[in-house]
Amino acid sequence: MEGKAGQSRSVVIAMDTSPSAKKAFQWYIDNIHRPGDHVVLVTVVHVRDAFTSAEWCSLMKSLDSDLMTGNIAKQRHELELQLDELTAMINEAKVSGTVQFVHASNARKGILGVAEDCKASCIVVGSRGLGNFQSGILGSTSEQILNNSDVTIILCPN
């Protein structure tokens, strides 16, 4: 995880709207942040979710363009609020950083893709603490990242 002497590190932090993601960000700030680090907060936007929700399915049956346009505007507004919140977190912590929303088929691919693109020194991930049954059925994003990453992973349990 150490950058070369005199070089800054790029640190990817996986972010969603969960308390565990916010806790992971704070853990990074409190424990391993160094001046010169560049933080990249990554949120993965699942495009398929927007088109497979019950609300979208009902809209598609009626083909009501006003309802569809309103739903798209609502989702865009929610992303803008999340962008504002994440930007405020970076500013309040007084760290150098950016927020990236990425489209990917799953969170693991999106987070690892950003980590590769920015040559991350490490990835910080929160864990929601799903039980063995739930994580076995649903899959754990943090576990998938841990098993597929070429860089250091810091897992912050909930």
Q: What is the DSSP string of 81-94?
A: HHHHHHHHHHHHHT
pLDDT of residue 81: 92
pLDDT of residue 37: 96
Instruction: Classify domain 10-157 at the CATH topology level.
Output: Rossmann fold (3.40.50)
Q: How far apart are CA 43 and CA 15, in angstroms?
A: 5
pLDDT of residue 92: 96
pLDDT of residue 1: 53
Strands (E), 64-134: 96-103, 122-127
pLDDT of residue 72: 76
pLDDT of residue 157: 75
The predicted-structure confidence for 37-54, as pLDDT tens digits, reads as follows: 999 999 998 655 555 556
pLDDT of residue 111: 94
Element (H, E) at 13: strand 10-14
pLDDT of residue 137: 41
pLDDT of residue 138: 41
pLDDT of residue 34: 94
Residues of the chain with pLDDT under 50: 133-138
The full length of the chain comes to 158
pLDDT of residue 116: 96
Q: What angle do CA 144, 138, 141 make, to 5 degrees?
A: 25
